[in-house]
Chain A
Amino acid sequence: MTGKRFVSILAHRLAILAYVAFALFPLYWLLKVSVTPNKLLYSEGIRMWPSSMSFEHFEFVLKHSDFPVFFKNSLIVSGSTAVVVTALASLAGYALSRFNFRGKYWIVALMLLTQMFPLVMLVAPIFKMLSPLGLTNSLTGLVIVYTAFNVPFATFLMQSFFDGIPKDLEEAAMIDGATQFVAFRQIILPLTLPGIAATLGFVFTAAWSELLFSLMLISGNDAATFPVGLLSFVSKFSVDFGQMMAAGVLALIPACLFFLLIQRYLVQGLTAGAVKG
């Protein structure tokens, strides 16, 4: 019996190990190639770690390429999107969580509808709408588009956080004479800070990863976000693997930071996001 138990525990640990290896290997390889000096890149092609390390690719990417601009653009776009979405979603999520009103059903239906149809349908009409307004090739245009795309999901997420806070708290404040908005701002919002952080993280990650609309809406280098810059770099200098992977590692950093931040809320986020899919 103990022998059988030992075998089952061993099998369990080995299976876990296999999953960890599978999950991390691509990222490990990205890091490995990014620190491999060019002269070793081909001679030591499939060695697990180069015989000597160098940061020449990072140095080149940071000093002699447009990647710092792309990085800054992506930070601006993702950061502003996250802040604006979280503000709008807190308000709307609060309305869905605390009020019973006639339009509620329609608002929820509208938000669900926006999660159902393929966003690629909107690529052409959005380009046509933004172009006369001067919002193509502009970071503002991207922020507006990303904000709209992320608000419904973030609203459901914020609603689930508000639902977890007892109603008595703001009722007590309102009996003491505060208006509901003051109660919302001064009592409820501070209590949802972890939820707000999680929403910021989810939206930031989503905006940081978005590809199709930034490809379509941005054409110049000045307003290029990281995905656009990286892809144009790949198609132009497709032999400079070290530099591409160094840029890739840079793109990974903010996403991983936010992942660590929101890790605890993944389950809640994904169940709220189950409607988003």
Chain B
Amino acid sequence: MASTAARTGGFRRDPRPLKKRLADASAPYLYSAPALILIVTVMLVPLVLGMSYAFRDIQLLNPFSGGFIGLDHFKTLSQDQNFYRALRNTLWWTGWSVLLQFVFGLILALLLDKPFFGRAIVQALVFLPWAVPSFLAGLNWAWLFNPVVGPLPHWLFALGVMNEPSNILSDPQLAMWGPIIANVWWGIPFFAITLLAALQAIPRDLYEAASIDGAGPVQRFVSITLPFLAPTIAITVLLRTVWISNFADLIIVMTNGGPADRTQIVASYIFTQAFKRLDFGYASAIALVLLALLITYSMLIVVLRQWLLSKD
């Protein structure tokens, strides 16, 4: 079609003059150009640059650094016990955060799905933590866990859970639970909002038909609600897993990786290397490994999905 248009000079099929056609064809690119230029220069270029740093010796305070050192960073990394600990901590942090956020978010969505008096206000109030800046959420929970100003240690002591009102953030065994609890508080609204939207898209007459047929609430939940929610659950849990595993704000604010590196996750370890030690090369090498792990995770999910689909 393009060739016939070219042969006939484009006049019969397309009455617009060449200049106008060029302008029309370039219009969408002109609209998106400013956004694209910015994304490429501020995100794509640094991404590629960062990957090259992983093979170079780049330390901010050392003017003689900058040379190509091959795989040295990765050799160091393979011996780095702190890195392996951060990797284990990342699994722990991500697993519990996602699980608890999902379970409590789902319960909240189910509770809000029923109409009741004052639902709009309740909804605004329970979703409020989502609007709290993450650094403030972290500080706020750190203060709640602090026996000097916070009530939590005193309550746990009164309940007999603790021997004395102490700060769990300075206890190596328990410290990780501090950021996890803050993260659950902060992240429940996200799951609740997404799941609530999915719940409200389920046709109501399905439930009516099911209860006429004698299905109880549990049966209705298992055979109507769950299958309808399944795709939303799958996609939000998967995306959230990746996002939370990279979410270092709460940890940096609350514990800064301590005590004794017990709360250091890979993302906060990268940040510490870059920010505190100013070792950009090593930080970029860890970041590259993290990226490879995340890509592997995503590929696994894709393969798993294909396998599940082909089984049906």
Interface residues of A (CB under 8 A from B): 12-13, 15-16, 19-20, 22-24, 26-27, 29-30, 33, 41-42, 45-46, 88-89, 91-92, 94-96, 98-99, 101, 103-104, 107, 110-111, 114, 116-129, 144-145, 147-149, 151-152, 155, 180, 205, 208-209, 211-212, 215-216, 227, 230-231, 234, 241, 244-245, 248, 251-252, 255-256, 258-260, 263, 266-267, 270-271, 274-275, 277
Contact = CB atoms under 8 A, between A and B. Distances in A.
A122 B287 CA distance: 9
B140 interface: yes
Given A29-B143, A33-B149, A92 B36 contact: yes
Interface of B: 25, 27-29, 31-32, 34-36, 38-47, 49-50, 53, 58, 60, 107-108, 111-112, 114, 116, 122, 124-137, 139-141, 143-144, 148-151, 154-155, 185, 188-190, 193-194, 196-197, 235-236, 239-240, 242-243, 246, 248-249, 252-253, 267, 270-271, 274-275, 280, 283-284, 287-288, 290-291, 294, 298
A118 B155 CA distance: 38
Contacts of A110: 36, 39-40, 44
Contacts of A147: 38, 42
A277 B242 contact: yes
Nearest to B239: A277
Contacts of A245: 143, 149
Contacts of B124: 260, 263
9 contacts: A22-B185, A29-B144, A33-B143, A125-B284, A129-B45, A209-B134, A211-B135, A211-B252, A274-B235
Contacts of A274: 194, 235-236, 239
Contacts of A275: 239
Contacts of A152: 35, 39
A211 B253 contact: yes
Given A120-B271, A231-B135, A255-B133, A23 B243 contact: no
Contacts of B44: 110, 114
A212 to B, nearest CB: 6
B38 A88 contact: yes
A110 B291 CA distance: 17
Contacts of B298: 116
Nearest to A91: B31
A241 B143 contact: yes
Nearest to B288: A121
Contacts of A144: 38, 42
A119 B44 CA distance: 11
Contact of B50 (A92, A124, A241, A260): A124
A177 B287 CA distance: 53
B107 A120 contact: no
B150 A270 contact: no
B47 A117 contact: yes
A148 B39 contact: yes
B262 to A, nearest CB: 20
B193 A267 contact: yes
Nearest to A41: B149
Contacts of A234: 139
Contact of A256 (B34, B46, B131, B236): B131
B166 to A, nearest CB: 14
A254 to B, nearest CB: 9
Contacts of A252: 132-133, 136
Nearest to B284: A124
A129 B291 contact: no
A251 B131 CA distance: 11
A267 to B, nearest CB: 5
A212 B271 contact: yes
B114 A12 contact: yes
Contact of A45 (B25, B128, B149): B149
Contacts of B189: 23
Contacts of A126: 42, 46
A24 B280 contact: no
Nearest to B108: A19
Residue picked from A23, A110, A255, A259, most chain B C-beta under 10 Å: A23
Contact of A118 (B39, B240, B267, B280): B267
Contacts of A230: 135-136, 139
Nearest to A96: B32
Nearest to B194: A270
Contacts of A128: 49, 53, 58, 280
Contacts of B242: 116, 277
Contacts of A231: 135, 139, 253
A114 B43 CA distance: 7
A118 B291 contact: yes
Residue in A19, A96, A244, A248 whose Cβ sees the most chain B Cβ within 10 Å:
A19
Nearest to A17: B122
What 3 A-B pairs have minimum CB-CB distances, sorted nearest first? A259-B131, A148-B42, A209-B133
Contacts of B140: 26-27, 29-30, 248
Nearest to B151: A46
